[in-house]
Amino acid sequence: MEENKGEFGTGYKTLHQCAKRKGGFRASMFIFILVALENMGFVANMVSMVLYFMLVMHFDLVGSANTLTNLMGSIYLLSVIGGFISDAYLTRFNTCLVFGTIEILALGMFTIQAYIPDLQPEACAKSPCVKGAKALMFYTSLCLLALGAGGWRGALPALGGDQFDQKDQKGKKSLSSFFNWLLLSTTLGSTIGVTVIVWISMNKGWDLGFLIITLATFVGFTFLALGKPYFHIETPGESPIIRVIQVIVVAIRNRSLLLPDNPDELYDISEEATIDEEKILHTKQFRLLDKAAILRRDSTVGPWRVCTVTQVEEVKILTRMLPILASTILVNTCLAQLQTFSVQQGNLMDLHLGSFKVPAASIPVIPLLFMAILLPLYEVIFVPLARKITNHPSGITQLQRVGVGLILSAVSMGIAGIVEVKRRHQAIKDPTKPISLFWLSFQYAVFGIADMFTLIGLLEFYYKEASSGMRSLSTSFTYLSLSVGYFLSSIFVEIVNSITRRSTKSKQGWLDGQDLNKNNLNLFYWFLAILSCLNFLNYLFWSSWYKYKTDTPEFELKEKAMNGSPFLKIESKQASVGKQNGVSTTMT
């Protein structure tokens, strides 16, 4: 028996050493390369496609802006589908490759249509001009691009997070750093996209620009595929949507039952649970959902008859996240305005930097350069100093980071309104001497910093707070917020125009027509700034109300008892289970 134990022990040690060789920043490098290469094209499209729709596909001003915002909204909305699939059916790694292939196919179709004039519509009096087979190819490529680019985005952040062990302090710090470097990779790729690729598209041809984007995306996903031997790849589990529905159904069925005074009497993961199962401790919020964990005396154990406390807590976590999700929608509506109206403003400004003419779509390089400089400083200087003060692995909490981003977005909208007043005043005074394009850099720079805090703060927040089986779905909430923000942008413009037409003496809306010099874009920006301030106050309420998964008294007592090493406690618990059952835990 001793000999067998030795064999099992040696085997477990070998497996453990193999596991240690996987994951970490070595595996993350393949993710960083993919993100940098893909975002070269993605962000270039995001800022310049509004001009492609106008100049090549012959959409009008509103049609091109709405087509772009609807495309971006669809991409981020479909990330939820990718997150769901990677949690329940495919691994996160395979989900990225499948949807990446779809994105490459869509970009190839854009390249072909931009290269062959016969596949492009002729200019017409009434937009949209694209019809028939040309429209079929155009809208098919848009749909495939939305599906592909959105699907893998729902799985990638969780795949990266899986490479770090959250059960120790070092792993928590590394996870926080991973999301910071992920944003830096995005920023560096985006910088090349909005400068080099946008210039090529505008000056050398849209077909060449799309071709470079397609090849860069292909190389990026090839690198990800080559990194498979280095990844920790989580096996997909039970559908997270089904688990949520089960809790709701059983809670409704048990609504007439009384909750026990002692939460320990609720049904939970038994001592025979496997090592891979994650146990989430009971919290006192949303007590009605606890009724799903009451096992009726006349009932047998089953997924649609009783739910574990852990399963109920998963639903509570998602419920607590919803107000945070809603509070971050408006910042993405502001982002959509900068990506459409600011490009149109830039076209009416002086585009020259010395003798070089800058494409208006390249102006976002300014916030990207700010982020490229500030992100390493944030990671190398600010985070270590903040850790010493707060003892938090990320320096400041994820929700504090998001709050900084929200208030900065309000400042950015205020600045945008001031710049628009100056631009329009000069355009009316002397149309031959417009102000420089780089006046837009002020609003872009502030919003770039806001985006740095908000986006990665949300990704880290959703990943850390979710259970292991819901992390892809949870992190896709970040993109869901972006999606609703983009869709809301189009609706917002229509509502503002409708209201202001009735309230102004001229009967012209703030954003009516195609002549920005006759509009009141500055008032629209200031309106967004006021809304952003009110939204920030709303966010302060919900973020202070939110209880982190690790902030419960039960967790604090447990961590204290474990001397700060939850992983050791889990191992010792499983070892005791193994002794009771008469089996060796090293087998597991």
How confident is the model over 411-428, as pLDDT tens digits?
999 998 999 898 888 888
CB atoms within 10 A of CB 527: 17
Is 4 inside any structural domain? no
- In this structure, are 405 and 297 located in the same domain? no
Q: Which residue has the higher pLDDT, 65 or 567?
A: 65
Q: Flag whether pLDDT at 73 surpasses 50.
A: yes
Task: Using the 3D structure, point to which of 270, 298, 317 is the last residue of a domain.
Answer: 317
CA-based nearest residue to 232, from 86, 36, 85, 20:
20
Residue 284 confidence (pLDDT): 81
- Is the predicted pLDDT of residue 100 greater than 50, yes or no? yes
pLDDT of residue 415: 92
| Helix (H) or strand (E) segment spanning residue 87 | helix 61-88
pLDDT band at residue 584, thresholds of 50, 70 and 90? very low
Contact 530, 496 (CB under 8 A): no
Residue 50 inside a domain? The answer is yes
Share of the chain above pLDDT 70, in %: 85
Q: How many angstroms separate the CA atoms of 422 and 403, rounded?
A: 30
Angstrom CA distances, 29 to 86, 249, 305, stand at: 21, 43, 45
In one-letter notation, the amino acid at residue 447 is F
In a domain? residue 131: yes
Q: What angle do CA 467, 316, 255 make, to 5 degrees?
A: 130
pLDDT at residue 225 tops 90: yes
**One domain, residues 537 and 564:** no
Q: What is the mean pLDDT of the chain?
A: 79
5 falls within a domain: no
Name every residue whose Cβ is closer than 8 Å to that of residue 45 and which is 6 or more positions away in sequence.
213
Residue 3 has pLDDT above 60, yes or no: no
**Residue at token pair 């020259």:** 352
Phi then psi for residue 436, to 5 deg, are: -70, 145
Q: Residue 52 is encoded by which pair of tokens?
A: 């492609």
Q: Per the structure block, which two tokens stand in for 50?
A: 């509004």
Would you place residue 221 in the very low, low, confident or very high pLDDT band (cuts 50, 70, 90)? very high
pLDDT at residue 556, as a whole number? 42
Last residue of a domain, one of 317, 339, 372: 317
Tokens of 557: 């007592």
Same domain, residue pair 200 and 211: yes
pLDDT of 552 higher than 80: no
Give the model's pLDDT for residue 570.
32
The whole-angstrom separation of Cα 433 and Cα 76 is 40
Alpha carbon distance 216, 104 (integer Å): 9
- The residue among 376 and 340 whose pLDDT is bigger is 376
Q: In this predicted model, which residue has the larger pLDDT, 86 or 103?
A: 103
CA separation for the pair 297, 295 (Å, rounded): 6
In terms of domains, do 79 and 199 share one? yes
**CATH code: domain of residue 414:** 1.20.1250.20
Q: What is the model's pLDDT at position 362? A: 76
Query: Cis link prior to 384 (omega < 30° from 0)?
Result: no
- pLDDT tens track for 383-394: 888 888 888 777
Cα dihedral value 214, 218, 224, 228, nearest 10: 160
For 425-466, how does the pLDDT look when each residue is reduced to its tens digit (9 = 90+)?
Answer: 888 888 888 888 888 888 888 888 888 888 888 888 888 888
- Using the predicted structure, report yes or no on whether residue 483 has a pLDDT greater than 90: no
Neighbours of 518 (CB within 10 A): 12
Q: Which two tokens stand for residue 157?
A: 């952040």
Tell whether 476 and 416 lie within a shared domain. yes
Q: Rounded to whole angstroms, how far apart are CA atoms 470 and 68?
A: 30
pLDDT score recorded for residue 32: 92
386: Cβ contacts below 8 Å, ≥ 6 apart: 392, 395, 396
Q: Is residue 9 part of a domain?
A: no
- What would you report as the CA-atom Rg of the chain, rounded to the nearest whole angstrom? 26
What's the pLDDT band for 279 if we cut at 50, 70, 90? confident
Percent of all residues in the chain with a pLDDT value above 90, rounded to a whole number: 15
110 and 63 housed in the same domain: yes
User: Which residues, 6 or more positions from 333, have their beta carbon under 8 angstroms from its beta carbon?
Assistant: 485, 486, 488, 489, 492, 528
- Work out the end-to-end distance of the chain between its first and last CA atoms, rounded to an integer number of angstroms: 18
Helix, strand, or coil here: 373?
helix
- The b/e string for 541-564 (b: 16+ C-beta within 10 A; e otherwise) is ebbeebeebeebeebeeeeeeeee
Judge if 230 and 356 occupy the same domain. Answer: yes
Q: Are residues 287 and 383 in the same domain?
A: no
- Asked whether residue 12 is domain-assigned, the answer is no
Helix (H) or strand (E) segment spanning residue 352: strand 352-353
Which of 264, 287, 317 is the last residue in one of the domains? 317
The number of distinct structural domains making up the chain is 3
Q: How many CB atoms lie within 10 A of CB 577?
A: 18
- Residue 313 shares a structural domain with residue 409: no
Q: What's residue 314's pLDDT?
A: 86
Q: 243 and 232, same structural domain?
A: no
Give the pLDDT confidence score for residue 437 in this predicted structure. 80
Q: Which residue carries 């292991």 as its tokens?
A: 468
**Structural domain that includes position 560:** 555-588
- Classify residue 578: in a domain, yes or no: yes
Kindly state whether residues 71 and 53 are assigned to the same domain.
Answer: yes
Residue 320: which of 82, 486, 483, 551 has the closest Cα?
A: 551
- Which segments of 196-328 does DSSP mark as H helices, in order? 198-203, 206-226, 240-253, 287-290, 309-327
Same domain, 450 and 464: yes
Mean pLDDT check: name the lowest of 224-233, 285-294, 461-470. 461-470
Mean pLDDT of 256-271: 77
Banded model confidence at residue 101, pLDDT cuts 50, 70, 90: very high
Residues 6+ apart with CB under 8 A from 202: 48, 51, 359, 361
Locate 16 and state its tokens. Answer: 């453990």
- Residue 112: burial class (beta carbons within 10 Å; 0-12, 13-18, 19+): middle
Q: What is the pLDDT of residues 4-23, one digit of tens each?
A: 444 444 444 444 444 456 77
Residue at 550 is within a domain: no
| pLDDT, tens only, 163-174 | 887 666 565 667
Length reported for the chain: 588
Which pLDDT score, from 0 to 100, does residue 105 have?
95
Nearest to 340 by CA among 561, 49, 120: 49
Q: Give me 226's structure tokens.
A: 């080559």
